[in-house]
Structure 1
Amino acid sequence: MKTLTYALAACAALGSGSQLAAQDIEELPGAEETVFDDNWLSVGVGVVYSPSYNGSDDYVFSPIPVVQGRLGPVGISPRARGVTFDFVNDQGEGTTLSAGLAVGLNRNRAAQIEDAVVLSYGELDTAIEVGPSVGVRFPELLNPYDSLSLSVDTVFDVAGAHDGIVVSPTMTYFTPVSRGAAVSLSFGAAYVDDDYANYYYSVPGGGPLPAFQADGGWERVGVNVLAGIDLNGNLADGGLAIIVMGGYSRMLGDAKRSPFTSIRGDADQWMGALGIGYTF
């Protein structure tokens, strides 16, 4: 369940994964020994139904291969468009910290553009985004098994696509509802610089849409709700699990004002996801 929890949340419109930790599963009632006590790995696949580009009102299906785990001192977690490597991988009791590297691909307007007018401006290059990721987790807020996690990813394009910076803060509340099921609620946002905004939201003159110069600022804010169900009724022993998720985000600033959104798209962005994973 953990893998798909991270992965499908990572595919939400906000582009931020739910910040769960292995302790969330280890601390379930009766979880004396769990698959997460030592090295472990989860693999999974999901399908997300989401806007064809950030700000689009056309929706497409996209597959999501994902991986998560802990190998020695390094924790691996899915994110919006890739993974993070947690080199602190704090497994202690009480408040825990994470710090490492986020790596991902940004294919916004690089494929699956359904709007012919937007497509006439051409497909964009895929950005490779790399940067630091830090977080903190507070357990046992409302019951002995829940947690609140806060994180910030700050990534830079190293592939020469948008050449910009994206800062993504996320807050996630997680709680089990039984030994075999859990839910999480995530709030997140994205702040982008001028280079990023100009690449994705500026509109050159001479085309079917009015010219527009986009500047950086808050790109979007939103919320995701996720539910996971272990197929044998025990989240702590790994195996197969399914997950469903829904999310909403709102485009902000010049990302909202851009003709790609305001004329050809919609500032309201919705998504749904379904997946299955295996943990061992």
Structure 2
Amino acid sequence: MHSLRLLLGATIVASMPFAAPALAQQEDHSSLTIGLGAAVVPTYEGSDEHRVLPLPQLRGKVKDRSFWTRGPALYVDMLTDTDGEGWDLELGPVVGARFDRSSRKAINDPQVEALGKRDFAIEVGGFAGFGKTGVVTSAYDNLSARVAVTKDVAGAHESIIVTPQIEYFTPLSTKSFVGLGLSADYVGKRFGRYYFDIDPAGAAASGLPVYDRAGDKAGFRRVTASLAGGYSLSGDIRRGWALFGVVGYSRLLGRYADSPIVSIAGSRNQWIGALGVGYTF
């Protein structure tokens, strides 16, 4: 049985999945869940203002090979579960986009807006991990861990991002489930320089002080904790319509949190939330 991936964290929008529970995948070698929701997210990473965005989600399985979206990223697991003991190894490619501060109108802060917009990034790489079904509460709960490594190939921040993740899921009944997730982001020097440093020209335009510490070296940019849940509208979470919700908290760390973009114009404490509906075939 393939593990449920709650996939809570990694980017602000990416922290809000609409996932079909592992119970739905126990009997089927192929399945598809389509979800659509509304997400309340910071206007940029480090902002203390929020906006509402549509959040489409997709996950499925074709002959025991799974794929899923995580915000604007697509993951494809090329391995299949073969041991029959509840263990699942994961390995495959991931490709995603980052739109942070790519539109001046969406920033909603005059000082940060004055620093200019950023190009959107295309982040390509891979992930590896494992999951175990039947851990604590029942034969269907799932604990999984993975690491994703991507690099911007579009010429925006041009940096590597390493994202370790741990998730736990348990069904409460055939109608509902809950899940917890923890993740962190480790970024290269160019990422900090691109999104968090302020050069003299930017300082003059924005009124924020010059800042050049975020791009000094690679480091952990943030940690994220999330809680997700789902409830079936059709009486069985494995099929038909279901409601999903997610709430998440991220805290920016160290020299990234010390950037005036965060410490003066925004906040190191980042809250997210989403509600949506999904249908599992």
TM surpasses 0.5: yes
2:211 pairs with 1:212:
yes
Give the match's secondary structure for 1:254. Answer: helix
Aligned-pair distance for 1:183? 0.2
> Which residue is 1:136 aligned to?
130
Identity fraction in percent: 36
Aligned-pair distance for 1:43? 1.4
1:211 partner letter: V
Aligned-pair distance for 1:73? 5.6
Q: Pick from 31, 41, 54: which aligns with 1:63? A: 54
Aligned length: 268
Please tell me whether the aligned partners of residues 53 and 109 of structure 1 are also in contact (alpha carbons under 8 angstroms).
Answer: yes
> Which residue is 1:122 aligned to?
116
Give the match's secondary structure for 1:90. Answer: coil
Report the CA distance shift for 1:20/1:276 in structure 2 as closer, same or farther (over 3 A).
Answer: closer
Aligned-pair distance for 1:64? 1.2
Distance 1:193 1:86 in 2: 26
Please tell me whether the aligned partners of residues 16 and 246 of structure 2 are also in contact (alpha carbons under 8 angstroms).
Answer: no
Gaps of 5+ in 2: none
- 1:187-198 aligned at under 5 Å gives the runs 187-198=182-193
Q: Pick from 9, 24, 38: which aligns with 2:29? A: 38
Q: TM-score, normalised by structure 2?
A: 0.88
Distance 1:179 1:39 in 2: 19
Q: Pick from 79, 95, 99: which aligns with 1:103? A: 95
Deviation string, structure 1 residues 89-126 (Cα, Å, up to 9, x no partner):
32643211110011110011113101011001111000
> Which residue is 1:183 aligned to?
178
Aligned-pair distance for 1:15? 3.9
Aligned-pair distance for 1:202? 0.8
Aligned-pair distance for 1:167? 0.6
Give the match's secondary structure for 2:270. Answer: strand
> Which residue is 1:31 aligned to?
none
1:190 partner letter: D
Q: Pick from 158, 161, 168: which aligns with 2:156? A: 161
Deviation string, structure 1 residues 170-213 (Cα, Å, up to 9, x no partner):
10110011111000000111010001111111111132111111
Q: Pick from 147, 153, 169: which aligns with 1:152? A: 147
Distance 2:114 2:261 in 1: 11
Report the CA distance shift for 1:61/1:20 in structure 2 as closer, same or farther (over 3 A).
Answer: closer
Report the CA distance shift for 1:177/1:22 in structure 2 as closer, same or farther (over 3 A).
Answer: closer
Give the match's secondary structure for 1:235. Answer: coil
Give the match's secondary structure for 1:178. Answer: coil
Report the CA distance shift for 1:50/1:19 in structure 2 as closer, same or farther (over 3 A).
Answer: closer
Deviation string, structure 1 residues 252-272 (Cα, Å, up to 9, x no partner):
022101110011000001111
Q: CA RMSD in A?
A: 2.4
> Which residue is 2:251 aligned to?
250
Please tell me whether the aligned partners of residues 244 and 277 of structure 2 are also in contact (alpha carbons under 8 angstroms).
Answer: yes
> Which residue is 1:170 aligned to?
165
1:138 partner letter: K
Distance 2:45 2:209 in 1: 19
Report the CA distance shift for 1:128/1:80 in structure 2 as closer, same or farther (over 3 A).
Answer: same
> Which residue is 2:240 aligned to?
239
Aligned-pair distance for 1:26? 4.2
2:64 pairs with 1:79:
no
1:225 partner letter: L
Distance 2:19 2:35 in 1: 17
Distance 2:49 2:18 in 1: 29
Deviation string, structure 1 residues 223-272 (Cα, Å, up to 9, x no partner):
10011011112112x21111111111100022101110011000001111
> Which residue is 1:113 aligned to?
107
Please tell me whether the aligned partners of residues 149 and 163 of structure 2 are also in contact (alpha carbons under 8 angstroms).
Answer: yes
Aligned-pair distance for 1:21? 8.0
Please tell me whether the aligned partners of residues 14 and 249 of structure 1 are also in contact (alpha carbons under 8 angstroms).
Answer: no
Q: TM-score, normalised by structure 1?
A: 0.88
> Which residue is 1:221 aligned to?
223
